[in-house]
A = this chain, B = another copy of it.
């Protein structure tokens, strides 16, 4: 087994701040020539949702999940100090003030750097998310594909 410079991140969390951390590490690793994959599962899938309502056929449970979960990176909440939405506003304000990048731009940058963005098909199924609802140019795969990437490198994180 050859050891490549590779960073593979599982993004499980649907929190704005944790997703920011994931994408900052990923973009940094890509800049240092790592092959980088972000595998989005469970609530982390929300980072890939498009910010537009779509008329899709869904069962009742799937409709409830779709309604309760944030539609896209910009709508996600903080893991701490969310204060009913005040926290994300504060974070976005400091990001702007310090010329840092908000999450949607970090995701765009990741796509430009050819970071492989993967949506976990098993949890898409569970949460009733369909491909039409997610960003373009992402891949769809399961735990086998994750392992194939992860076992080839050593920067493996679960966020």
Contacts and interface: CB of A to CB of B under 8 A. Distances in A.
A17 interface: yes
B155 A126 contact: no
Given A94-B128, A126-B98, A143-B25, A17 B5 contact: no
B126 A94 contact: yes
Interface in A90-144: 90-91, 93-95, 97-98, 100, 122, 125-128, 142-144
A147 B150 CA distance: 16
Interface of A: 1, 3, 5, 7, 10, 12, 14, 17-18, 21, 24-25, 28-29, 32, 34, 41-43, 59, 61-62, 64-65, 68-69, 79-81, 90-91, 93-95, 97-98, 100, 122, 125-128, 142-144, 146-147, 150-151, 153-159
Contacts of A90: 61, 64-65
Contact of A42 (B14, B17, B93, B98): B17
Contacts of A64: 90
Between A3, A32, A80, A93, the greatest number of chain B beta carbons within 10 A of the residue's beta carbon is seen for A80
B159 A156 contact: no
Nearest to A26: B143
Nearest to A32: B147
B157 A154 contact: no
